[in-house]
Chain A
Amino acid sequence: MNNFICADELHKIYSLDGQTEVYALRGVSLQVAQGEFVAIMGPSGSGKSTFMNLLGCLDTPTRGTLSIEGIEVSSLTPNQLAEIRNKKIGFVFQNFNLLARTSALENVELPLIYNRVPAAERRQRSAEALERVGLKDRMHNLSNQLSGGEQQRVAIARAMVNAPALILADEPTGNLDTITSVEIMNIVKELNEASGITIILVTHEPDIAKFAKRQVHFRDGIIIRDE
């Protein structure tokens, strides 16, 4: 299969205190082609966050297989997973997850540091990424001096600075007002259309989901609708 993301019968079982087992995913199969913009929707507890963690190589499935760009990731070591996260995936979180008391520029540089990019090139690429999200003038501000929308734009710059193939956005507009949300979504959309980066977006707001070309609905650990 030449699909970019290929999930086959993914199961994820969490075991609480060693006895009670929680079934977060009960057999999820999904194919995503390169350059797609997919919105994942569903109520809380439907398994969408668990699915995102698996896609983001932050966790490994209990059963089933998952490949990203042809690489089987369900059985990799923590070091190999870290490398895939670093080179192929960018994250945008609901609560931004920037390093506090650290400048916007240094936050964006972080993935490049772990990719061993030399300092001068690191600086230049980070500045370019910030310019692309419209924060050229604020790159030396500390992250906690920025507004929510600005922080999320720094996070997007950080997600794309290493030129990933995939950006995972987990409720990126959850903490933002409507106008800022639209601004952020436009940047995400532009990344998808201009750079051909595959985007997977988790949201429960239908308005935000409309930015995507495809909507996948989760409930109780399985996909109930794909349109």
Chain B
Amino acid sequence: MELLFTIRVALRAIMRNKLRSLLTVLGVVIGVCAVITMVNIGSGAQISIENAISGLGTNMLIIFPGSMTKGGMRTGFGTVTTLIDEDAQAIRDECPTVQLVSPIVNTAAQVVYQNQNWGTSIMGTDPEFQRIKNWPLARGEFFTIQDVKASTKVCVLGKTVAEKLFGTQNPVGQIVRVKRIPFRVIGLLTEKGQTTFGQDQDDTVVIPYTTAQKRLMGITYLSMIMASAVSNERIPDAQKQITTLLRQRHHIPKGEDDDFTVRNLADLTATFTIITGILTLLLGSIASISLLVGGIGIMNIMLVSVTERTREIGIRMSVGAKPNDILLQFLLEAVLLSLIGGGVGIVLGIGLTAIIAYIAEWPTPISFTAILVSSLFAAGVGIFFGLYPARKASRMNPIEALRYE
């Protein structure tokens, strides 16, 4: 029997019992829709976490001063003052896999504007800091390399600090005092929000690191160095080059511990990727169960349909339908039911994903793998659960089938 004609016959049989077909298909619709939505939400969660992490900085590496071994005693992190400006310049000049470098000096201080004051963190940085952190300005401008060289008393405010001191007023051009030293506000950073760990990144004042060293703290060393690798893949290379360079500069003999630590966010990203991957798999498997239930619904209805249409099967056999013709007819009906269900499920799934993406403000990319897999799965469900009823139909005795009332 021609396939096209068989499809038409199957479609007509489906249309003959609209409500029943609709309810049968609904099981598959919900199953496929659930699989697609769950997988999309899962990968949306993955991307939004990745974005949050890369928001901390692009391909960022952080070099902390580390522990120093002195006569068998290891002193712990941050206790050494060996990390200096020249180290940062050397990394910039000699490590080809490093793109941007910024020395960082951290301190905390009270910032005063007229009768307002606010205790916040003061960050001394290089202009490259802004690019490493991917942190655009809302107003004004960032300080330049000239400001760093001249240790200018200028600052860029984080959004939280600006709100606490100025309210809704434009802070750019105003003078604030840090430890009684007047700083001219030249820029306002955009809101960056909290880190993944709940720290408010906007509660900060950024000044040239030389200014922080000389005018605020009276030190010559650095709190840390921020750097960015040329690409995500080169992070391990950059880490290696920096380590080699710094060990050499700090004259650390072979076998001794580093007096610094190079950290990157790749490990963090990897961990979260694994977690969200497991989550996606879990959601997907739960959704698959509903697809399975939908398949059983199809089998149920096909069995009823075969019994109901025993007479039709008898007639077809009496005019010369072979067992395989009957098998194909009922199998195709089941497959069509599940494919229709799959198609509607895909459309609904994409729609639902878009709605959730809109409400949750998440990037939820449509996973084509999920669509492909669930359509194949839907067809598979149709074949698997349609085969038994179709075989039952094809093995009927034509005489008994003709006599069936």
Task: Please list the residues of chain A having a beta carbon within 8 angstroms of any beta carbon in chain B.
Answer: 53, 56, 58-59, 78-79, 82-83, 85-87, 91, 93, 97-101, 110-111, 113-116, 119, 158, 162
Task: Report the Cα distance A105→B104, complex, angstroms.
Answer: 88
B322 — nearest CB in chain A belongs to which residue? A82
Task: Report the Cα distance A37→B360, complex, angstroms.
Answer: 81
**Residue among A87, A99, A162 with max Cβ neighbours from chain B (10 Å):** A99
Chain B positions 293 through 329: 1 when the CB is less than 8 Å from some CB of chain A, otherwise 0: 0000000000000000001101111111111110000
- Tell me if B145 counts as interface (CB < 8 A to partner A): no
Q: Are B1 and A86 in contact (CB under 8 A)?
A: no
Task: Report the Cα distance A115→B324, complex, angstroms.
Answer: 14
Q: Are A86 and B319 in contact (CB under 8 A)?
A: yes
Q: What's the minimum C-beta distance from A19 to chain B, rounded to whole angstroms?
A: 20
Q: Are A53 and B399 in contact (CB under 8 A)?
A: yes
- Tell me if B402 counts as interface (CB < 8 A to partner A): yes
B319-348 with Cβ < 8 A to chain A: 319-325
Q: What's the minimum C-beta distance from A6 to chain B, rounded to whole angstroms?
A: 22
Task: Report the Cα distance A116→B325, complex, angstroms.
Answer: 11
Q: Are A79 and B324 in contact (CB under 8 A)?
A: yes
Instruction: Write out the residue numbers on chain A whose beta carbons fall within 8 Å of the beta carbon of B254.
Output: none
Interface size on B, residues (CB 8 A): 22
Task: Report the Cα distance A93→B314, complex, angstroms.
Answer: 12
- Tell me if B16 counts as interface (CB < 8 A to partner A): yes
Q: What's the minimum C-beta distance from B17 to chain A, rounded to whole angstroms?
A: 11
- Tell me if B368 counts as interface (CB < 8 A to partner A): no
- Tell me if B197 counts as interface (CB < 8 A to partner A): no
Instruction: Write out the residue numbers on chain B whose beta carbons fall within 8 Å of the beta carbon of A100.
Output: 312
- Tell me if B398 counts as interface (CB < 8 A to partner A): yes
Instruction: Write out the residue numbers on chain B whose beta carbons fall within 8 Å of the beta carbon of A115.
Output: 320
Chain B positions 14 through 38: 1 when the CB is less than 8 Å from some CB of chain A, otherwise 0: 0010000000000000000000000
Instruction: Write out the residue numbers on chain A whose beta carbons fall within 8 Å of the beta carbon of B2.
Output: 113, 116, 119
Known: A82-B317, A110-B319, A114-B322. A93 touches B402 (CB 8 A): yes
Q: Are B5 and A85 in contact (CB under 8 A)?
A: no
Task: Report the Cα distance A198→B274, complex, angstroms.
Answer: 77
Q: What's the minimum C-beta distance from B399 to chain A, rounded to whole angstroms?
A: 5
Q: Are A98 and B320 in contact (CB under 8 A)?
A: no
Contact of B325 among A58, A59, A114, A158 (CB under 8 A): A114
Q: Are A97 and B320 in contact (CB under 8 A)?
A: no
Contact of A85 among B320, B324, B325 (CB under 8 A): B320
Task: Report the Cα distance A99→B318, complex, angstroms.
Answer: 12
Contact of A99 among B312, B323, B325, B399 (CB under 8 A): B312
Known: A58-B399, A93-B402. A98 touches B315 (CB 8 A): yes
Task: Report the Cα distance A26→B73, complex, angstroms.
Answer: 111
Q: Are B318 and A97 in contact (CB under 8 A)?
A: yes
Q: What's the minimum C-beta distance from B330 to chain A, rounded to whole angstroms?
A: 15
Instruction: Write out the residue numbers on chain B whose beta carbons fall within 8 Å of the beta carbon of A110.
Output: 315-316, 319
Q: Are B402 and A158 in contact (CB under 8 A)?
A: no
> 5 A-B Cβ contacts within 8 A?
A53-B399, A79-B323, A82-B322, A114-B319, A115-B320
Known: A97-B402, A99-B312, A101-B16. A58 touches B318 (CB 8 A): yes
Query: 9 additional contacts, CB 8 Å, given A82-B317, A97-B402, A98-B315?
Result: A56-B318, A79-B323, A85-B320, A86-B321, A99-B312, A114-B322, A116-B1, A119-B5, A162-B320
Task: Report the Cα distance A113→B3, complex, angstroms.
Answer: 11
Instruction: Write out the residue numbers on chain B whose beta carbons fall within 8 Å of the beta carbon of A59.
Output: 397, 399
A86 — nearest CB in chain B belongs to which residue? B320
Q: What's the minimum C-beta distance from A32 to chain B, rounded to whole angstroms?
A: 20
Task: Report the Cα distance A163→B58, complex, angstroms.
Answer: 81
Contact of A78 among B5, B316, B319, B323 (CB under 8 A): B323
Instruction: Write out the residue numbers on chain B whose beta carbons fall within 8 Å of the beta carbon of A114.
Output: 1, 316, 319-322, 325
Instruction: Write out the residue numbers on chain B whose beta carbons fall within 8 Å of the beta carbon of A83.
Output: 320, 322
Task: Report the Cα distance A110→B5, complex, angstroms.
Answer: 11
Q: Are B315 and A82 in contact (CB under 8 A)?
A: no
Q: Are A97 and B311 in contact (CB under 8 A)?
A: yes
Task: Report the Cα distance A113→B397, complex, angstroms.
Answer: 21
Q: What's the minimum C-beta distance from B18 to chain A, rounded to whole angstroms?
A: 13
Q: Are B319 and A91 in contact (CB under 8 A)?
A: yes
Instruction: Write out the residue numbers on chain A whose beta carbons fall within 8 Å of the beta carbon of B325.
Output: 114
Chain B positions 391 through 402: 1 when the CB is less than 8 Å from some CB of chain A, otherwise 0: 000000111001
Task: Report the Cα distance A147→B323, complex, angstroms.
Answer: 32
Chain B positions 361 through 405: 1 when the CB is less than 8 Å from some CB of chain A, otherwise 0: 000000000000000000000000000000000000111001000
Task: Report the Cα distance A78→B322, complex, angstroms.
Answer: 7
Q: Are B321 and A99 in contact (CB under 8 A)?
A: no
Task: Report the Cα distance A161→B318, complex, angstroms.
Answer: 14
A52 — nearest CB in chain B belongs to which residue? B399
Task: Report the Cα distance A157→B315, complex, angstroms.
Answer: 15
Q: Are A111 and B5 in contact (CB under 8 A)?
A: no
Q: What's the minimum C-beta distance from A151 to chain B, rounded to whole angstroms?
A: 13
Q: What's the minimum C-beta distance from A190 to chain B, rounded to whole angstroms?
A: 22
Instruction: Write out the residue numbers on chain A whose beta carbons fall within 8 Å of the beta carbon of B315.
Output: 97-99, 110
Q: What's the minimum C-beta distance from A12 to chain B, rounded to whole angstroms?
A: 11
Q: What's the minimum C-beta distance from B404 to chain A, rounded to whole angstroms?
A: 11
Q: Are A58 and B322 in contact (CB under 8 A)?
A: no
B395 — nearest CB in chain A belongs to which residue? A78
**Residue among B312, B314, B318, B398 with max Cβ neighbours from chain A (10 Å):** B318
Instruction: Write out the residue numbers on chain A whose beta carbons fall within 8 Å of the beta carbon of B16.
Output: 101
Contact of A79 among B316, B322, B397, B398 (CB under 8 A): B322
Task: Report the Cα distance A159→B30, complex, angstroms.
Answer: 46
